[in-house]
Amino acid sequence: MQTTDTTYDNVSHVNHGFQHEEQRPSPYAPSSGINPILPQYPGPQNPQYVLQNSPQPYFSERYSPGQSLDQYTPQTAPVNTHHTVTPGLYLDVNPVHKAASRRKKWPFILCIVITLLVVAGVIAAVLWFYGEFDCFQGRRCKTDNKCVSFSQWCDGEQNCPSGDDEAHCYRLYGSNSLLQMYSRVNQKWENVCSDGWSDNLGMQACEEMGYERNTYVGYEKINSRASSDYMLVKTDSPSSFNLTSFLSRSSDCPSNKAVALKCIDCGRNNGRRIVGGTTVTSKGVWPWQVSLQISGNHLCGGSVITPYWIITAAHCVQEFSNARDWTVYAGYLTRAEMGLATGNSVNRIVMHNFDPRTNENDIALMKLNRPLTITSDVMPVCLPNKGMYFAAPRECYVTGWGALFSGGPASQTLQEAKIQLIDRTTCNSRAVYNGRITDTMICAGKLEGGVDSCQGDSGGPLVIKENSLWWLVGDTSWGDGCAFRNKPGVYGNVTYFLDWIHEQMRRY
């Protein structure tokens, strides 16, 4: 975590996120021996013929270094290196005749090309008709490509072998956490009317999104401005215990109040920050920050999102994918404290489809063997909801035990830095990252440099405060150096991955 006021222009360092045994890669310095040294042939001794700014001549058996150029006479005619003609072969070439011949062939070649394109188009149309048209009124399952009609999605019955059609039927929307259900009738998300709602239904809805029943907090009734329909609790008792069977689409909500659901107590911090400080001195300030270690060495940061689940960066676990190698430390400020603690073992690592060439999809999840005990020092951060928009230049914070300067050692004490979001257009400009920022990433930092995340901060949280709660908007991913001018930090876009996160929590 670099928080000095020094501005750097040197971008020779690449933020590699972490290095094993706390070592950081050294700068890539240009090597004087990067080009191979070729043997040098001495020129003729007497006289010397040297061409200025030209390489040494090649000496063949037809010419020796001791022979003067005046005495040297080539034994054969110079070779035409562009068009070699076999000796004795007679060619009667008429350029005018050849040009006319070429012109006659062009229509024929063009006709063949057009015919091939037409045939390819017909084949593609047939394949599309028989492969896609039969699913025009539905969607395909991920695993076996089975076509399931729209009316069967989110109907309470599993039609896809892997349950894809029932996996994303509920979501929380906006900073008020409005509960919404996907309507299979009009293929839209609808608010859930609070009439007839209960905590038991609330627990079931939270479970559908991957949360544990024992983390459930409750629900509120808030005024709804929905211009479309609602999902309303049925008055008759369904025979099934599936939550979907309790709800039906309705054009009216008598109370005009919708359900706002709280599946977990999150985003609250209890410590006191030092204004302008960079070293965290109170454990409760960032209670979701964890250290991910192998054999007692801090490699990456992470964020607590439930007592069982940790979010980190995929590049942290790509080469260390064995869950048994990792230990998670939560509720500590210094690495010295962690050295005396036991930590929490990891049961499972779930990595997204990470591309190390482009750094796309740089997010991963760790599930612990035992749940963390939630205290004032250990608290989940809130996952952002759909419909929450954090626009530049919004103020945000990044934390971790990363290096204090590019290429330096990891910090012994938790550090924090106040930075701001940078819009994607600016970050993709030629002067910054020249088009390398995709939808799976967000930029944050200061274009003038001086404050940034650094090696060892990877996987750690980028958080924003809204409605008195802290929301996880990014996981530290990559950057060119640390705190260099026009090279801000790049973070995994957590909002982009929401469906994937809830799917893994629900599955495992």
| Higher local confidence (pLDDT), 150 or 55 | 150
CB 156 within 8 A of CB 245: yes
**Lowest pLDDT segment from 38-42, 249-253, 305-309, 448-452:** 38-42
Question: pLDDT value at position 502?
Answer: 97
Task: Tell me the mean pLDDT in the region 73-83.
Answer: 40
- Cα distances (Å, whole numbers) of residue 165 to 118, 170, 191: 38, 12, 20
Asked if residue 103 has pLDDT above 70, the reply is no
Question: pLDDT value at position 8?
Answer: 42
* Total residues found in the chain within this entry: 508
| Higher local confidence (pLDDT), 80 or 300 | 300
DSSP secondary structure of 409-442: PBPSB-EEEEEEEE-HHHHTSTTTTTT---TTEE
Q: Is the peptide bond before 47 cis (omega within 30 degrees of 0)?
A: yes
Question: pLDDT value at position 109?
Answer: 81
SS (H, E, C) 263-311: CCCCCCCCCCCCCCCCECCCCCCCCCEEEEEECCEEEEEEEECCCCEEE
Active site residues: 315, 362, 458
Task: Tell me the percentage of the chain whose pLDDT exceeds 90.
Answer: 52
- Cα distances (Å, whole numbers) of residue 394 to 421, 434, 446: 5, 22, 12
Say which DSSP state 166 is in: G
**Cβ-count burial 415-428 (b if 16+ within 10 Å, e if not):** bbbebbbbebebbb
Of the candidates 338, 340, 345, the one whose C-alpha atom is nearest the C-alpha of residue 370 is 345
Query: What is the homologous superfamily of the domain 168-262 according to CATH?
Result: SRCR-like domain (3.10.250.10)
Angstrom distance (rounded) from CA 304 to CA 331: 10
Q: What tokens does 383 get? A: 């996952």
DSSP secondary structure of 9-28: ------B-S--GGG--PPP-
pTM of the model: 0.73
Burial of residue 242, with CB atoms counted within 10 A of its CB: 0-12 exposed, 13-18 middle, 19 or more buried? middle
Question: pLDDT value at position 101?
Answer: 57
CB 258 within 8 A of CB 193: yes
Task: Identify the band that residue 207 occupies on the pLDDT scale cut at 50, 70 and 90.
Answer: very high
Half-sphere exposure of 21 (CA within 13 A, CB side): 2
| Angle CA 498–467–504, to nearest 5 | 15
Q: Is the peptide bond before 393 cis (omega within 30 degrees of 0)?
A: yes
Residue-wise pLDDT for 403-418, tens only, equals 877 777 788 999 999 9
Task: Tell me the mean pLDDT in the region 198-211.
Answer: 95
- Cα distances (Å, whole numbers) of residue 499 to 210, 295, 384, 399: 11, 33, 11, 25
Residue-wise pLDDT for 391-400, tens only, equals 999 999 999 9
Q: Where in the chain are the domains? A: 138-163, 168-262, 289-507
Which run of H or of E encompasses 503? helix 498-507
Q: Hey, is 222 helix, strand or coil?
A: strand
| Higher local confidence (pLDDT), 24 or 474 | 474
**What counts of helices (H) and strands (E) characterise the chain?**
6, 21
Task: Identify the band that residue 363 occupies on the pLDDT scale cut at 50, 70 and 90.
Answer: very high
DSSP secondary structure of 108-143: HHHHHHHHHHHHHHHHHHHHHHHHTGGGTTEEE-TT
Burial of residue 193, with CB atoms counted within 10 A of its CB: 0-12 exposed, 13-18 middle, 19 or more buried? buried
Q: What tokens does 467 get? A: 């409605």
Q: End-to-end alpha-carbon separation of the chain, Å? A: 33
CB 221 within 8 A of CB 255: yes
Asked if residue 16 has pLDDT above 50, the reply is no
The CATH number fitting domain 289-507, selected from 3.10.20.90, 3.20.20.80, 3.40.50.300, 2.40.10.10: 2.40.10.10
The rounded mean pLDDT for the chain is 80
Residue-wise pLDDT for 259-300, tens only, equals 999 999 999 998 665 555 589 989 999 999 999 999 999 999
